Amino acid sequence: MAEPDVGTRLEPYVVERVDAEKMKLMAAILQDPNPIHFDVEVVRALGYGERPINQGPINMAWFMACAVRFAGGRERLLRTQMRFLANVFAGERFVAEGTVTALDHEAGTAELEIECTADGRPVLAGTATVATR
Q: Kind and range of the H or E element at 121?
A: strand 121-131
Scanning 1-9, 35-43, 102-110, 115-123 for contacts with another protein by CB under 8 A, the matching segment is: 35-43
Query: With binding defined as CB under 8 A, does residue 78 bind another protein?
Result: yes
Q: Kind and range of the H or E element at 79?
A: strand 77-84
Scanning 2-10, 64-72, 105-113, 115-123 for contacts with another protein by CB under 8 A, the matching segment is: 64-72
53: which DSSP letter? B
Q: What is the dihedral of CA 2, 3, 6, 7, to 10 degrees?
A: -10
Instruction: Figure out which of the listed residues 31, 106, 120, 133 binds another protein, where binding follows CB under 8 A.
Output: 31
Query: With binding defined as CB under 8 A, does residue 75 bind another protein?
Result: yes
Query: With binding defined as CB under 8 A, does residue 100 bind another protein?
Result: no
Residues counted in the chain: 133
Query: With binding defined as CB under 8 A, does residue 116 bind another protein?
Result: no
φ, ψ dihedrals at 87, nearest 5°: -75, 150
Query: With binding defined as CB under 8 A, does residue 65 bind another protein?
Result: yes
Instruction: Figure out which of the listed residues 8, 20, 40, 42 binds another protein, where binding follows CB under 8 A.
Output: 42
Distance CA 52, CA 109 (A): 38
Contact 101, 130 (CB under 8 A): no
Q: How far is the CB of 105 from another protein (least distance, A)?
A: 21
Q: Hey, which residues does 53 pair with through a beta bridge? A: 89
Please report, as ranges, the residues that interact with another protein according to CB under 8 A.
15, 22, 25-26, 29-36, 42, 46, 48, 55-58, 60-62, 64-65, 68, 74-75, 77-84, 87
